[in-house]
Structure 1
């Protein structure tokens, strides 16, 4: 399977925009329900850091091929958030979040799926870059 460079660039931009969606779900960091249900990871500071990671993805969208190891770090970061989400889903009642706030409920329902999708994306890009470097 060959992925075009333009498709990969779009993937980095989409990943960044998905992270930036925390601005919507958190209502510009005013939605206290998100932090209430996971104060260690999803505090306003944690949400701000998610936004910063998103900006990092966008910043390398057109030069990702020059930062293979950073792409690998992006994959690790997504793996960590994906695992944290699975742990959260297994140990919490999502309906309680929905009862308190619809936007927070939607956020907790989808953020981990997003992280797993982009973990796979970043791993595929990292492996592609590793193969290119080995053959080049």
Structure 2
């Protein structure tokens, strides 16, 4: 993967995180926090946006932030694991019955996190191996 593609990956990761504002209707949708009040509270959703801004902020300089990229990978691992646990223990149809956007959000957010966990892990390993 070349550096331009990786830079675009960081920007896409950030934009994907910021899409939570659409799903949550700019933090006014009560259904998302209702079904996961700890991780997906309005504060939690805001922090997802902040993580997205962090990804974008290093997009052009990711080569100089090796350990931060490792942190991004761990963060995505945690969110991906949380989603997998959540999806195995909840019924999405209950959410779709209340709100389409919340149902879509809970259906896909973990897939996004697992994909970007792989992306950030790849970038971290690539940078780590280049810096020997």
The normalised TM-score by structure 2 is 1.00
* Alignment correspondent of 2:15: 17
Contiguous gaps of at least 5 residues in structure 2: none
How far apart are 1:102 and its partner, in Å?
Answer: 0.2
Matched, 1:120 2:85: no
CA distance in 1, matches of 2:14, 2:69: 13
Superposition misfits of 4+ residues, deviation over 2 angstroms: none
1:36-66: CA deviations, max 9, x gaps? 0000000000000000000000000000000
CA distance in 1, matches of 2:39, 2:65: 27
The normalised TM-score by structure 1 is 0.97
What is the RMSD computed on CA atoms of the aligned residues?
A: 0.3
* Alignment correspondent of 2:58: 60
* Alignment correspondent of 2:84: 86
CA distance in 2, matches of 1:26, 1:15: 18
Number of paired residues? 132
**Matched ranges for 1:22-61 at <5 A:** 22-61=20-59
Contiguous gaps of at least 5 residues in structure 1: none
